[in-house]
Amino acid sequence: MNDLIQHSRRTFLMKIAILLNGIVGVFLAIPIIGYLLGPLLKKDSSYNYWTPLGSLDQFPVGETRLANYHNPVGVAWDGQTGTIPCWVRCVATGKFQVFAINCAHLGCPVRWFPQSKLFMCPCHGGVYYQDGARASGPPLRGLFQYSYKIAGDQLMIKAGELPTLSTQASVAKPEHSPCQG
Amino acid sequence: MPGLKQRAIELYGWFERRIGLAGPITEAAEHPVPSSSASWWYVFGSAAAVILVMQIVTGILLALVYTPSAGEAWNSLQFLNHDLLLGWFLRALHGWGSNFMIAIVLIHMTQVFLFGAFKFPRELTWIVGVFLLLMTLGMAFTGQVLRFDQDAYWGLGIGTSIAGRVPFIGAPLVHLVLGGPIIGGTTLSRFFALHVFVIPGILLGCVALHLWMVLHLGINEWPMPGRLVRKSTYVQEYASITHKTGIPFVPDAAWKDAVFAAAIILAIIASALFFGPIGPSGPPDPTIIQTAPKPDMVFLWLYALLAYLPPKLETPFLLIVPVLVIGGLVLLPLVAGEGEKHWSRRPVAVLMVMMIAVSLGALTRLATYVPWSPIMDAWSGDPVPPKFLERRTPLEHEGALVFQEKQCRNCHALDGVGGMRGPELDAVATRLTEDQLIRQVLQGGGNMPAYGSALSPPETTALVRFLETLNGNRIPARDPSRVLIRKSETVLKPHNESLTSASQ
């Protein structure tokens, strides 16, 4: 009888101990999960900042040129990955289109060919017209575009995020080329 | 001397009394296996385990030097390759070990599948094996990222773009994979943690479970056509086979495993010596865009598939098919846990293996020469072959210049040289008439961009004149109505002339 009482008391204490560990576990798990999901809890808008791209005279009217910007939200040990290229097309004085370097298919770097006025992607053969509209190949849409503004003699773009189909540098989709046939 | 031997036995006894593992280990090593299973076909699993040990050892040795920082990783790999004694060899062993590991794991899986070894009671061994395969592929991908070069940078871009296609949670998923908004310092550290701590930890746990189950359930007996697996009788049948024909695993069966493992390690050493370390390619600098990124050998088939899938099908395919494939592999032993084991009585299984092998092989082969990609420097690097320029008019020569200058060559080959994205144009004039050529050039279509805005009318005329000369010495395509018009013009001409002269 005495054994039975002792046994049930110890069993009870064991259950209390398990419960205690469960509570401590939850207390420990909440900050761990918060730490892991940290990159998710930031709002998208807090990733993109106005970033200088260079002075306006680097981008003559009618030309499309490669420009680099320093990523505004990087860390000190990003190294070379912190400097990101983009294509700047000056349509008319004060009017620009700034395209992400990343193909809208799977993110490879597109190259501009001024002679044929096409962007071509080396990975899976995505091709875009000079205004960024999809020309052929596997991409589902035109090139991603950054929002831009002119501050003094500087061209600024809103950048900071790798553009993919769900994280787009800009909501603006390029208009269709009139010569698409 | 006898005293020394006595002392050694006593020392062994001292440890054994305190550790007490000699008994269970000897028992496990000498457990009886059916003599038919002591075959060269049963050596792949143990070879994978031996490669795993080698990967762990070489991985730890590389970690002595490797710097998991986006700014320094590439430099530390250069240091390993060029400045540190035999650093290149350790990198080569680890890289080629990874290739051999995937090959051996796939062969092991195919053998287990064809020998029906996944059937009762070894269903869970197979399922754990499926997760081991996934983790092996995970190690290959994360390892490729740690080789933080151009291909790794853009490969991450491809992986992230795939993650970005997931509906609803695409954006958070991208941020979770990258550890932030871009590919950078935080990305490399998390792939380092995955490659070095997270996946190996789970992998080793699963390997232990996998091996324990092999010991606990016994190695699969050699299948015989007509000997069916039934849950009610199998355990007894297996016990009687091992009782009648059983031989101790060590040494009677294990010597083959040991010989094969040695051969495989030797092959890895030979590959490392002959082919050297894998990469790194150019530095992970996104501003160097003169690059054509490609994944490692293991993922080439996927790279090819992404080029050939119709664009609209791509996202559903990427999101649904992996779930179906993994689900199918996991459910296989639960659905087909009984019945025939022998491959000669399982034609569907054999056909499936052949189909998958041929598909993966063909896609991998295609990805080695990427016929779907434009060749970015063909327009400036590969001149028009002289035979297409002989006895041509100045206008046609001008057309050949336009052809090169407008990058047509990047997608179209001449005489077998140039891009393969579009058709070869050696005999294009036999397929398209003049009007069709003009239309195709200006308006594009059939996966060709429109060149209307990139060509002036004189350039278009010259280009089409040149293309019309490319007839492969066969009869060129003619528009019948155009022929009629020309004929009527020649018939009318003298008549008109006579009219004109009469009026004068």
Q: Chain centroid to CA B302: how far?
A: 6
Residues B43 and B153 in one domain: yes
Residues A69 and A122 in one domain: yes
Among B336, B352, B369, which residue terminates a domain?
B369
What's the mean pLDDT in B362-388? 93
Domain with A136 in it: what CATH number?
2.102.10.10
Looking at the domain assignment, is residue B182 inside a domain? yes
Higher pLDDT, B472 or A132: A132
pLDDT on residue B493: 59
Domain with B417 in it: what CATH number?
1.10.760.10
pLDDT on residue A168: 74
User: Which among B397, B400, B473, B465 has a CA at the least distance from the CA of B434?
Assistant: B465
Residues A81 and A50 in one domain: yes
- With residue B214 as reference, give the H or E element that holds it: helix B199-217
| pLDDT tens figures, B274-324 | 999 998 999 999 999 999 899 999 999 999 999 999 988 999 999 999 999
In this model, does residue A61 exceed pLDDT 70? yes
In this model, does residue B13 exceed pLDDT 70? yes
Looking at the domain assignment, is residue B42 inside a domain? yes
Residues B359 and B389 in one domain: no
Residues B355 and B396 in one domain: no
| pLDDT tens figures, B400-456 | 999 999 999 999 999 999 999 999 999 999 999 999 999 999 999 888 999 998 999
User: Does the beta carbon of A67 lie under 8 angstroms from any beta carbon of chain B?
Assistant: no
Looking at the domain assignment, is residue A154 inside a domain? yes
pLDDT on residue B504: 44
Its domain, for residue A31, covers 2-40
- Interface with chain B: mutation pick from A165, A168, A171, A175, highest number of B CBs within 10 Å: A165
In this model, does residue B503 exceed pLDDT 90? no
Looking at the domain assignment, is residue A180 inside a domain? no
Residues A145 and A102 in one domain: yes
Residues A50 and A106 in one domain: yes
Residues A85 and A102 in one domain: yes
Higher pLDDT, B121 or B490: B121
User: Does the beta carbon of A54 lie under 8 angstroms from any beta carbon of chain B?
Assistant: no
Q: Is the peptide bond before A174 cis (omega within 30 degrees of 0)?
A: no
What's the mean pLDDT in B257-286? 96
Q: Map tokens 């390993």 to a residue.
A: B80
Q: Which residues of chain B make contact with A82, given a CB cutoff of 8 A? A: 182, 184
Residues B68 and B212 in one domain: yes
pLDDT on residue B496: 53
Looking at the domain assignment, is residue B5 inside a domain? no
Q: Which residues of chain A make contact with B442, given a CB cutoff of 8 A? A: 179, 181
Length of chain A in residues, anyone?
181
Q: Which residues of chain A make contact with B312, given a CB cutoff of 8 A? A: 140
| pLDDT tens figures, B98-121 | 999 999 999 999 999 999 999 999
Residues B358 and B389 in one domain: no
In this model, does residue A146 exceed pLDDT 80? yes
Query: Inter-chain contact A75–B184, Cβ cutoff 8 Å?
Result: yes
Residues A139 and A74 in one domain: yes
Residues B293 and B359 in one domain: yes
Looking at the domain assignment, is residue B503 inside a domain? no
Q: Which residues of chain B make contact with A105, given a CB cutoff of 8 A? A: 161, 306, 311
Tell me the shortest Cα–Cα distance from B396 to chain A, in angstroms.
19
Looking at the domain assignment, is residue A125 inside a domain? yes
Tell me the shortest Cα–Cα distance from B194 to chain A, in angstroms.
13
Among B369, B397, B426, which residue terminates a domain?
B369
> How many Cβ contacts (< 8 angstroms) between chains A and B?
224
Query: Inter-chain contact B157–A162, Cβ cutoff 8 Å?
Result: yes
Residues B386 and B325 in one domain: no
Among B344, B369, B394, which residue terminates a domain?
B369
Looking at the domain assignment, is residue B13 inside a domain? no
pLDDT on residue B122: 97
Looking at the domain assignment, is residue B10 inside a domain? no
> For residues B90 and B85, what is the distance between their CA atoms, to the nearest angstrom?
10
Residues B356 and B400 in one domain: no
Q: Can you read off the two tokens belonging to residue B171?
A: 């954006």
ipTM: 0.89
Residues B289 and B415 in one domain: no
Query: Inter-chain contact A106–B443, Cβ cutoff 8 Å?
Result: no
pLDDT on residue A167: 82
Looking at the domain assignment, is residue B484 inside a domain? no
Looking at the domain assignment, is residue A35 inside a domain? yes
Residues A88 and A18 in one domain: no
Looking at the domain assignment, is residue B20 inside a domain? no
How many domains, in total, are found in chain B?
A: 2
Residues B48 and B143 in one domain: yes
Looking at the domain assignment, is residue A72 inside a domain? yes
The answer for B395, left when phi > 0, alpha when psi is -120 to 50, beta otherwise, is: alpha
In this model, does residue B336 exceed pLDDT 90? yes
Its domain, for residue B441, covers 378-479
Residues A68 and A27 in one domain: no
User: Which among A175, A181, A106 has a CA at the least distance from the CA of A142?
Assistant: A175
What's the mean pLDDT in A80-108? 95
Point out the residue among B174, B182, B311 whose CB comes nearest to the CB of A166: B174
In this model, does residue B200 exceed pLDDT 60? yes
Residues B200 and B338 in one domain: yes
Per the prediction, chain B carries an average pLDDT of: 93
pLDDT on residue A40: 79
Residues A20 and A90 in one domain: no
User: Which among B374, B442, B433 has a CA at the least distance from the CA of B408?
Assistant: B374
Looking at the domain assignment, is residue A170 inside a domain? no
Domain with B266 in it: what CATH number?
1.20.810.10
Query: Inter-chain contact A80–B287, Cβ cutoff 8 Å?
Result: yes
Residues A110 and A36 in one domain: no
Point out the residue among B171, B185, B453 whose CB comes nearest to the CB of A179: B453
Point out the residue among A68, A80, A125 whose CB comes nearest to the CB of B421: A125
Q: Can you read off the two tokens belonging to residue B453?
A: 């805005």
Query: Inter-chain contact B448–A136, Cβ cutoff 8 Å?
Result: yes
pLDDT on residue B1: 63
Residues A10 and A58 in one domain: no
User: Does the beta carbon of A65 lie under 8 angstroms from any beta carbon of chain B?
Assistant: no
- What string of DSSP letters covers A153-180? TEEEEEE-S---SSS-S-SPPPPPPTT-
Query: Could you give the percent of chain B with pLDDT greater than 70?
Result: 97
Tell me the shortest Cα–Cα distance from A41 to chain B, in angstroms.
8
How many domains, in total, are found in chain A?
A: 2
Residues B54 and B167 in one domain: yes
Residues A66 and A140 in one domain: yes
Looking at the domain assignment, is residue A176 inside a domain? no
